[in-house]
Copies of this chain bind each other. A is one copy, B any other.
Amino acid sequence: METLKVSTRSNPNSVAGALAGVMRDDGVVHIQVVGAGALNQAIKAIAIARTFLDEAGYDLVCLPSFAQVDIDGDVRTAIRLEVRPDRSGSLHPTSPLSG
């Protein structure tokens, strides 16, 4: 499984493009962030990726959890966002790509 590290300096549009690509292949991505600024960029990227995918009849969902990460010997609490295709089938029942 792919893990993307997103920081406060990450470009949400670039991250969104990467996410949308993986989702189209029905893949799963883990995004790892430390701090509120990095989380903000990651969530913006997910919101943008949803608009990219919407045009193709796809959607994605995000599942946040906590993780402990070691940064230069310092243990910090990170947020891990599992991003995967929306499999509920309720939003795009007539997706042109699924039938």
A47 and B62 form a contact (CB under 8 A): no
Number of copies: 2
Residues of B within 8 A of A44 (CB): 64, 66, 79
Interface of chain A: mostly helix, strand, loop or mixed: mixed
Among residues of B, the one whose C-beta sits closest to the C-beta of A67 is B47
B88 and A64 form a contact (CB under 8 A): no
Complex Cα spacing A75 to B37, Å: 21
Q: How far is the CB of A43 from chain B (nearest CB, A)?
A: 5
A50 and B63 form a contact (CB under 8 A): yes
Q: For chain A, which range describes its interface: under 10, 10 to 19, 20 to 34, or 35 or more residues?
A: 20 to 34
Q: A36-B40, A61-B61 are in contact. Are A66 and B47 (CB under 8 A)?
A: yes
B36 and A65 form a contact (CB under 8 A): no
- Supply 25 A–B pairs (Cβ within 8 Å), ascending by A: A36-B36, A36-B39, A36-B40, A39-B39, A39-B40, A39-B43, A40-B40, A43-B43, A43-B81, A44-B64, A44-B79, A46-B64, A47-B64, A47-B66, A47-B79, A50-B63, A50-B65, A59-B63, A61-B61, A61-B63, A61-B86, A62-B63, A62-B64, A87-B87, A87-B90
